[in-house]
A and B are shown apart, each in its own frame.
Chain A
Amino acid sequence: MLKKDLISKSPASKTIGIENVKDGRFGAVLSRAGVGKTSFLVQIALTQLLNDEKILHVSLDDPMEKINLRYKEGYTNLIDYIGYIDPQKAVRLWEDIKPNKVGISYTESTFDTQKIKDYLKSFKKADLTLPSVIIIDGLNFDEDVSKSLEELESLNREFCVFIWFSMKNHREEDLCEDGYPIQLETYKDRFDKAVFLQPVEDKIEAVILKDGDKTDQKFKLDPATMMVIEDI
């Protein structure tokens, strides 16, 4: 029951839709630095964990401890958002879902899809359930990442795993004609989903840039917790 409540209130469900989170190949969360890409990605991952699925979080920026801390914080925000919950139940649920998350921290120079492939292969070998979603946080889309994306696409095909990326754009850059930041424009054909986060007054506005029927929908998020405030 608690799981269902949490999933339904999660910003990932409210904006993208839980059934939609891993439908396709790639998804991107775009914003300028410091707006909340990682927090939003963590919320996406949490919906999967609450759905009893495994996730793999690869960070090219944060050390392992920080990744773990972000998940704990994201979970606490979600719990606080739905109001009073028996704290013991909340802790027990966290202990239940936590083992399904693996955080790997790489530096930009050592990031190698082969390592992820080796890791996913070991699941198959041991006949274990594969992660349903991989989060890749910190890949620099200002540089040419087509080779990495190609390799990751093959992972998507081989292991049926949806990959969400963080994509950093810059304040001084104009949006392209179709309203996409340049980083997404370059690789737009590879992405099935894209959420653009931008500060509007004292809130964050989440705009669905790419997601079939949902495209162009807007949501207001609390900048401290990334929880949805109300539909615009």
Chain B
Amino acid sequence: MIRDLKRVRNIGISAHIDSGKTTLTERILFYTDKIHKINEVRGKDGTGAVMDSMELEKERGITIASAATYCEWDKHNINIIDTPGHVDFTVEVERSLRVLDGVVLILCSVSGVQSQSITVDQQMKRYEVPCIAFVNKCDRSGANPIKVSDQLRDKLGHNSVMMQLPIGLEDKHEGVIDLVAMKACYFEGENGEKMVVKEIPDNMMDDAQLAREEMVDAVSLFSEELTDAILEEKEITNEMIMSAVRTGTIAREMTPVFLGSAYKNKAVQPLLDAVVSYLPSPLDIQNEAIDIDNNEETVILESKFDKPTVALAFKLEDGQYGQLTYIRVYQGCINKGDTLINSRDGKKFKAGRLIRMHSSQTEDVDAVPAGHIGAMFGIDCASGDTFVSPAINYSMIAMHIMEPVISLSIVPKDNKAQINMSKALNRFTKEDPTFKTYVDHETGDTIIQGMGELHLEVYVERMKREYNAEVTTGQPRVAYRETITKKALFNYTHKKQTGGAGQYGRVAGFMEPCEDEFEFVNKITGGRIPTQYIPACKQGFEACMNKGPKLEFPVTGIKVTLNDGAFHAVDSSEMAFKAAARGGFLESYAKAKPVIKEPIMKVVIETPNEFQGACMGLINQRRGIIQGSQEEGVMSVIESQVPLSDMFGFSTILRSATQGKAQFTMEFSTYRQVPQSVAEEIARKKQEEKTKNK
């Protein structure tokens, strides 16, 4: 691995589903000599792309798990993570972005900025990851990269600057004009591997000059040297422009826009040049950790090899040699045989086999230095753990993990399947923090929870294929929540005298709705409840949040204020106050007008114009709220919010309503109170279930 970090790039490739992320990665690997044959995502030979190594990925033509690989370009070492586009697998994108220094945001030149592009953009903002944009599919009918660049500005608020102009579009797309070098680039050879640089065609010269002026004007904001050169009418060198673009990009104040067609092998090489020229090296990015031993103060990590090691485990996989842990080293260097500490549990371990990944292939290495991405075998840890040298006790800041919104009961077919299912679930829950599982004590069923139907479907399929665990699935269930809508008082005394030491505790106060999950305010004065019992009161209230008294769904959004109480010198205990708090909760909960809330999904349908009315109708029939519809060329985009419970099986219905021509994406948006009629229906079903289980 290259030790000169200026020549290292850790980048991700992110975009909306089917924008061509994996196709582009495949081309990058081909041009950098990592692979010697291009395989298409949905190729006729059934081989599938190298990066889609999971069988299921090849079959479905989607990326499920983000795969890591590396390549070399222009003496630079580029570590690439290809991430899934489907929103159900968004945690994969989330954890990739956590460890990346830069992103290539791919946009489709026909569809432009789509819903997942918006989600990815929000994630990039959260982790402050700089990006460059690549407008792909310029060979497609209806391609309009300039419109896409404008959308990047209008919809995502990027300061997008076109760095290239297309030479022909749709079926006439031949290459690109590089506005920095002012040259035309064509791509020849069977796989476009030969980049031929020529003079700009005469008929495009005026446009190119205008576009270059605009570009130089936009990037001059980031370089005094360039501004001076413009004002003093001196010669503007390519280096000046490139340096300004790099500064603006790394500061996240501009997004250079490149274009081409990965599928048709056009303009991938200039994109690689851009990755090297404009995206940051590990030295350009400031990474932080918290020092646990020093009052959790923030410390800046330095990409120096002689400093104590700090690394983050960002992804786990079950490989043939045990658990494979993907790591990004931020400081120091992990050598084979080094002793490291997992700062979460303080456990010491020895770094065994170190590898660098190339999709499902591995390459052994002796060390993973700061600034690089690698993997370790045989470490027992969880995703998001920090590994440090014994001398320090740092922790990297955790990733943003969303709560699952959908669940499904699964029943193994036989005893063997039961054992295999447990193994599979154990591994999947470790690998994916948005995938959870538990046993419903009333029904005895194993319940799996995730971010969407496809998410759970993929795991059930993987259980069958990878673990030979045949399971039958029940109806998907929605993760309802309970909450209160008004303030209510409580004044509850827990008193028990049944021989021996008694139990006594009185709690009084009120509960009211709030924005947070749960809030506890202690306003006890004059020692009415001794301080040592206050935590027990809080625990008592908190314990009631797990199962709401109304319909036994988890409770959220409650603020409890404790302002009075009483104790007994002999009979009061922690247990007594916990019981009193439980009693207080139940007493006031019923008075606080509890309601059921359901997950509402943001659903975006893209459909040919002629089916717009029909698609809007489908949303209407599902208690959906249409936020608007917009025609973009031959396609219409319909944005709406629909309760998750009404979205089951929607893909089939949409297909049949639109002759299979429409597609949709769905992601969690918010929780909203269910209408009375639906609440009654939920209560009825719950009651039926209970009776059945008895």
Partner-B contacts on A (CB < 8 A): 63-65, 67-68, 99, 102-107, 110, 114-119, 121-123, 125-126, 128
Contacts and interface: CB of A to CB of B under 8 A. Distances in A.
Nearest to B619: A122
B621 A126 contact: yes
B613 A117 contact: yes
Contacts of B610: 115
B617 A118 contact: yes
A122 B629 contact: no
A104 B621 CA distance: 18
B614 interface: yes
Contacts of A123: 617, 620
B614 A118 contact: yes
User: Which DSSP category, helix, strand, loop or mixed, fits chain B's interface?
Assistant: helix
A114 B621 CA distance: 19
Given A115-B613, A119-B613, A103 B628 contact: yes
A68 B627 contact: yes
Interface string B140-165: 00000000000000110000000000
A65 B621 CA distance: 24
Interface in B405-423: none
A122 B621 contact: yes
Given A64-B639, A110-B609, A115-B609, A122 B630 contact: no
A104 B628 contact: yes
Contacts of A102: 616, 626-629
Given A110-B609, A115-B609, A126-B621, A63 B630 contact: yes
Interface in B587-627: 609-610, 612-614, 616-618, 620-621, 625-627
- Residue among B612, B613, B626 with the highest chain A CB neighbour number at 10 A: B613
B631 interface: yes
A108 B639 CA distance: 21
A119 B616 contact: yes
Nearest to B639: A64
A182 B630 CA distance: 31
A104 B617 contact: no
Nearest to B638: A104
24 contacts: A64-B627, A64-B628, A64-B629, A67-B628, A68-B628, A99-B625, A102-B629, A103-B628, A103-B629, A104-B612, A105-B628, A105-B630, A114-B613, A116-B613, A117-B613, A119-B612, A119-B613, A119-B617, A122-B614, A122-B616, A122-B620, A122-B621, A126-B621, A128-B620
Contacts of B630: 63-64, 104-105
- Residue among A68, A105, A117 with the highest chain B CB neighbour number at 10 A: A105
Contact of A106 (B154, B621, B631): B631
Nearest to A110: B631
A214 B578 CA distance: 70
Contact of B617 (A99, A114, A121): A121
A98 B173 CA distance: 44
Which 8 residue pairs of A and B lie closest in terms of their CB atoms, listed nearest first? A122-B617, A118-B613, A64-B628, A103-B628, A99-B625, A126-B621, A119-B613, A64-B630
Contacts of B631: 105-107, 110
B646 to A, nearest CB: 11
Contacts of A128: 620
A15 to B, nearest CB: 27
A88 to B, nearest CB: 12
Contacts of B639: 64
Contacts of B616: 102, 118-119, 122
B150 to A, nearest CB: 11
Contacts of B612: 104, 115, 118-119
